[in-house]
């Protein structure tokens, strides 16, 4: 996989969610799709999407538009054991979670993980 070879520099394995269970979980149990037609006729929405993709392009010069394209996604940060400490649901294409919030959630999840490890020693 190109992504794991070029970007995922961890020993941890990636999971390919062929059933799109994650997308359903982010969207409350349903596979949320964006309407291409409604997006194209709404100039405000179209402007936001163009701005989102410009921003993504600036931060990630090696991106592509491969994939399904209309399914709305998001991001979740979990504590060890599966508790969700942060969730961001995509509102329109390219709507990324604020990185500061993601980093804070990851730090909080990691702090909890460290504390549990220290207690078990």
Position 75 pLDDT exceeds 80: yes
No. of helices (H) and no. of strands (E), the chain? 5, 2
Q: Which pTM was predicted?
A: 0.56
Cβ atoms 116, 91 nearer than 8 A = no
Over the chain, what is the mean pLDDT?
76
Cβ atoms 71, 31 nearer than 8 A = yes
Position 10 pLDDT exceeds 80: no
Structure tokens at 95: 């709507």
pLDDT of residue 112: 66
* Burial of 29 from C-beta contacts in 10 A (0-12 / 13-18 / 19+): exposed
pLDDT in tens, 14-72: 777 888 888 788 777 777 777 667 667 778 877 777 776 777 666 665 655 566 667 77
pLDDT of residue 61: 56
* Burial of 105 from C-beta contacts in 10 A (0-12 / 13-18 / 19+): buried
């Amino acid at each position: 996989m190109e992504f794991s070879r070029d970007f995922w520099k961890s020993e941890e394995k990636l999971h390919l969610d062929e059933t799109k269970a994650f997308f359903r979980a982010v969207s409350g149990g349903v596979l949320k799709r964006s309407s291409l037609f409604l997006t194209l006729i709404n100039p405000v929405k179209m402007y936001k999407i163009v701005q989102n993709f410009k921003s993504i392009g600036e931060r990630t010069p090696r991106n592509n538009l491969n994939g399904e394209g209309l399914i709305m996604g998001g991001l979740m940060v979990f504590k060890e054991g599966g508790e969700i400490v942060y969730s961001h649901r995509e509102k329109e294409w390219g709507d990324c979670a604020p990185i500061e919030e993601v980093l804070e959630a990851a730090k909080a999840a990691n702090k909890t993980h460290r504390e549990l490890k220290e207690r078990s020693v």
